[in-house]
Amino acid sequence: MVKRFYTLFIFIFFAFVLTACGTKDTEATGVAYGMTYNDYLTAATVEVKGEVVTSAALDEYYLPNTWAKVKVLETDAPADVLVSGSSWYGKFIKIGDKNFTASLREDPLEIGGVTYNNQVVKYSAEGVDDLFTWLRASEENRKWYVEQLDNNNAWVAKDDFSKSTYETAGQVDSNGKLGFSKGKTNYWKGDNFPLGWSGNMSELVKVVAGTKMDASMDQITQNDEKKWVVNGVVSGATYVSFKEYYSVLKTAYDKAVG
């Protein structure tokens, strides 16, 4: 009886040791998709070894209120364009296998006490009453959206949903072509912005590398120089929505270690 108990103890002990070692050395990746800075969608990827972040990356995607803008022509607005103030928007857009038609909102969009003044155009498709609220409702929806944009499977369309010939008024990439994300376009770049969007994102990634992302939101603060501090570690990031991007990264991290 004692021998059997001893054998069982040894077996359980070594199983525990092997499990612990496996957890320590396990490499995994998590990906998350969240709404950020009111009118954007951020995709975050976190790689871990055990429970420690080894690398991370973020990109922030434009919604159609940015990329479906077209350049104003010196004519009256054609039938396939919606006019809001001094801006023209494509009335028809294609995203993946979905055909969206636009309408102007009668009143500013308000959700949970927040007014989304940039969402002046509502895009609807079969099964999607309002693209903006549809993206907010589900991470699966946001994942689908990012995948379509990453594959350039989205465009301003004619009324038959083939590609239109309008010149974009949205953000462009280094080749002067329509870009779908801040990481691929000239958003917040230039000599006057040495940090800008990409620099701020880089500082966020630096401050989480080598950690277990166990800082609570109360442990993320700004110092007198407006730099964000995470659990006592000062980053170089200064942008106002730091906590929102950190939160998307944290979701990706939780998926990786979960």
**Residue 35, domain member (yes or no):** no
**Residue 235, domain member (yes or no):** no
The string of pLDDT tens digits covering residues 197-245 is 999 999 999 999 999 999 999 999 999 999 999 999 999 999 999 999 9
**Residue 157, domain member (yes or no):** yes
**Residue 76, domain member (yes or no):** yes
Supply the range of the domain harboring residue 123.
62-184
Strand order across the 154-157 sheet = 121-124, 98-104, 92-95, 154-157
The string of pLDDT tens digits covering residues 179-191 is 999 999 989 987 7
**pTM score, whole prediction:** 0.90
**Residue 27, domain member (yes or no):** no
Query: Does the structure show a pLDDT above 70 at 194?
Result: yes
User: How many residues in the chain?
Assistant: 258
The string of pLDDT tens digits covering residues 92-126 is 999 999 999 999 999 999 999 999 999 999 999 99
The backbone region for 105, taken as left when phi is positive above 0, alpha when psi lies in -120 to 50, beta otherwise, is beta
**Residue 124, domain member (yes or no):** yes
Contact 223, 229 (CB under 8 A): yes
Number of independent structural domains in the chain: 1
Closest CA to 131 of 158, 82, 92, 169: 92
- Residue 191 is given by DSSP the state T
**Residue 96, domain member (yes or no):** yes
- Distance from C-alpha of 207 to C-alpha of 113, rounded to nearest angstrom: 32
**What is the crossing angle of helices 242-257 and 196-208, to 10°?**
40
Closest CA to 60 of 93, 35, 94, 29: 35
pLDDT of residue 190: 79
* Paired tokens of 35: 């709404």
